[in-house]
Amino acid sequence: MVRRVGVLTGGGDCPGLNAVIRAITKAGIMEHGMEIVGIENGFGGLIHGLFRELKSRDVSGILPRGGTILGTTNRDNPFAYPVEKGDEVVYEDRSDECMENFRRAALDALIVIGGDGSQSIGYRFYQKGMPVVGVPKTIDNDLLATDVTFGYESALLTATEAIDKLHTTAESHHRVMVLEVMGREAGWIALGAGIAGGADVILIPEIPFKVDRVCKKILQRVEEKKNFSIVVVAEGAYPEGGSPVYKTTFDGRKKLGGIGNWVAEEIEMETGIETRVTVLGHLQRGGTPVPFDRILATRYGVAAINEVAKGNFGVVMCLQNDRVVPIPMEKVVGGNKLVDPNGELVTYAKEIGTSFGI
38 close to 51: Cβ distance less than 8 angstroms: yes
3-state secondary structure at position 353? coil
| CA angle (240 as vertex; 139, 192 as ends), nearest 5 | 25
**Residue partners of 335: CB distance under 8 A and separation at least 6:** 116, 144
Query: Cα–Cα distance between 202 and 232 in angstroms, integer?
Result: 5
Q: How far, CA to CA in Å, does 98 sit from each of 49, 94, 103, 124? A: 8, 7, 9, 12
C-alpha span between 176 and 27 (Å, rounded):
50
Strand runs labelled E in 94-235: 109-114, 132-136, 176-181, 201-203, 229-234
Q: Of 140, 142, 200, 293, which residue is the catalytic one?
A: 140
Distance, in Å, from the CA atom of 342 to the CA atom of 293, rounded to the nearest integer, reads 27
Mark whether 140 is an active-site residue.
yes
From the DSSP assignment, how many helices (H) and strands (E) are in the chain?
10, 15
Residues for the chain: how many in total?
358
Q: Which residues lie closer than 8 Å to 224 by C-beta, 6 or more apart?
A: none
Which residues have a catalytic role annotated? 140
